[in-house]
Structures are given as structure tokens and as C-alpha cells.
Amino acid sequence: MTGAPGSGKSTLTSALIGHMRSRDIDVAVLAIDPSSPFTGGAILGDRVRMQDHATDPGVFIRSMATRGHLGGLALAAPEAVRLLDAVGRRWIIVETVGVGQVEVEIAGKADTTVVVLNPGWGDSVQANKAGLMEIADVFAINKADCKGVEETRRDLEQMLDLSELPADSWRPPIVATVATTGDGIGEFWDAINAHRVHAQQSGQLESRRSFRAREELREIVANRLYQRARQICTGDRWEALTEAVAAHESDPWTAADTMLDGVLDA
Ligand SMILES: Nc1nc2c(ncn2[C@@H]2O[C@H](COP(=O)(O)OP(=O)(O)OP(=O)(O)O)[C@@H](O)[C@H]2O)c(=O)[nH]1
Ligand SMILES: [Mg+2]
């Protein structure tokens, strides 16, 4: 579940949880807050917004603030999802703000990505700029009690027309919701499930999962190499090489090659 700050992701998540619980479906929610390391309004806000479900054992809600942690958001989020999956949560909702490259990347790695927009001029343009059009499987025009729903729907339809999807591929449905009252939540849930069925039948689910595994593995390898680089960039040889570069006796590329000599096949 991704979208601009304040678009109603948490409220929509809460409404969706209510809908799922009325069908006796367990759910876990991971609210990712990249901006605030340990405290912050968003986390508190999410707790308050989702507190309807706080005492329900069928609902698990955690907020994650990962900026500054080793490996960062890109590694911590899939790790948390894997953990929830391992303990048997079949439905895991990840809420992340749809601004910033890492956040959009995380959102794009879900089995189903919901992009939350608001009615009114320009929201779909912003979403497009942020790279959200490409990753959307379902659009929710939330705050549909405000005016401009049809304009936003038209904008989205136009953008989808222009994106020249292959004839047999999934065209993201556009659902109008009022998260605060629950209007449209049934249709929203149906759209998510329809995408699920499509993803399973078309093989998209498998290919996304394999892509995700590949990307995650690459990320971990890159991270390890980075750590290793920090380890080796110390000591006498390092000091001598830095001084040689500073004194223009060597160039940084040659010095780097010297530093790396024998390291990568060690
Ligand atoms: N009128 C109206 N207000 C809504 C609706 N959904 C959410 N809101 C309000 O919009 C505000 C932001 O909602 P949140 O659910 O916190 O939005 P968010 O996208 O999770 O925000 P961040 O996590 O801070 O990015 C709150 O004051 C909600 O009550 C809606 O359908 N209609
Ligand atoms: Mg939120």
C-alpha cells in the first residue's frame, strides 16, 4: 500500500483489516516509516488509527523505522515480511510512503501493489512522476467523499491507455474509496483478490517472486562487499596509497586496483 503522505494509506489499511476480519481472515501489517528513526508522529499516528484492531489476536501491527540501520529499508523490509510469512501470516500488508526511490522499489516488490491517490487535479501526475504508475496493480482513489473523483479516474485511465499495456496483461482497476466510512472497501478487496488470481494464473506471481529473490540476494552481496571495503580501507597500505593519490603520484583508479588486488578472490 503506497501513496503520497496523508493520502489515507493507514486509514484504508484499517478499513481493509476490518473487512478481512469480518471474513475471519488473519492479517499482519507492517507500516514502514523511513523518516523517523525511533520516534515520530507517523508511527504514533498509525497506532492510533489502527487501534480498533489492537486487541484482536488475528491482527498483528508493527511499525518499522529503519533509516540508519545496517542495510537500510531495502533489506529490512523483506526480512520482516519473510518472518511474518514464516510464522504463517497469509496476508501481509506493507504500508510505505510512495516518495523516494527505495520506498517505491520496496512497494514494487510486493505481490500486489496498491497505489493510493486522492481526488483532485494533479495527484495522478505526481504519482506518475514518482514512478508509481509502473508499479500499480490496483489504484484506490481514496477520500472519494471529496470532489474530483471522476477527473482523477479519467486522468488515470488516460495514463493507462498511453502506457500501451500488452492486450492480455493486467490493467489496474481503479476503485473509489472512503476509508473513514468504509465506502468502496468491498470493491477494493475484490480488486486485490482479482489481481491475486490473475498473478497466479498468468505466472506473474512466480516471476515476481523469483525477481525479488534475485534482487534481494544481489542487495545482500553488495552490502557485504561494502562492509568488506570499509574493513580493508585502513592500515599502512591504505595510508600510503591515499598519500600517493593526494600527492598526484598515483591516480585513484590505480590505487583502488592495488587495494583490491587479491581481495575479491580471497
Ligand atoms: N475525508 C476523508 N478523509 C480521509 C479519508 N481517509 C483518510 N482520511 C484522513 O486523511 C488523514 C490522513 O490519513 P492517514 O491514513 O494517516 O494517511 P497516510 O497515507 O497513512 O499518511 P502517512 O502515513 O502519514 O503518509 C487523516 O486525517 C484521515 O482521517 C477519506 O476517505 N476521506
Ligand atoms: Mg500512515
Closest C-alpha among 106, 111, 103 to residue 130: 103
- According to the model, what pLDDT value does residue 172 have? 95
Distance 46 CA to ligand 2 centre (A): 6
C-beta separation of 170 from 201 below 8 A: no
Query: How remote is the CA of residue 216 from the centroid of ligand 2, in Å?
Result: 25
Length of the chain: 266
CA 126 / ligand 2 centre spacing (Å) = 18
Ligand 1 atom showing the smallest separation from residue 183 Cα: 31
pLDDT at 50: 64
One-letter amino acid identity for 77? Answer: A
Mean pLDDT along residues 72-93: 85
For residues 27 and 20, give the distance between their C-alpha atoms in angstroms, rounded to a whole number. Answer: 8
Q: 104 and 162 in contact (C-beta within 8 Å)?
A: no
Residues contacting residue 76 through CB under 8 Å, at least 6 positions apart: 64, 66, 69
Does the beta carbon of 11 sit less than 6 angstroms from any atom of ligand 1?
yes
37 pLDDT more than 50: no
Alpha carbon 227 to chain centroid, angstroms = 25
Check pocket membership of 36 for ligand 1, CB cut-off 6 A.
no
Confidence of residue 236 (pLDDT cuts 50, 70, 90): very high
pLDDT at 102: 72
- Among 18, 24, 14, residue whose Cα is nearest residue 116: 14
Helices vs strands, H then E, count in the chain: 11, 7
Residue pLDDT, tens place only, 40-71:
444 445 555 666 777 888 998 888 775 555 45
For ligand 1, say whether the CB of 97 is within 6 Å of any of its atoms: yes
| Mean pLDDT, range 78-91, rounded to an integer | 89
Average model confidence (pLDDT) for the chain? 86
Specify the ligand 1 atom closest to the Cα of 179: 31
The residue among 241 and 30 whose pLDDT is bigger is 241
1 in Cβ contact with 9 (< 8 Å): yes
* Integer Cα distance of 9 and 179 in angstroms: 9
**Percent of the chain residues topping a pLDDT of 70:** 88
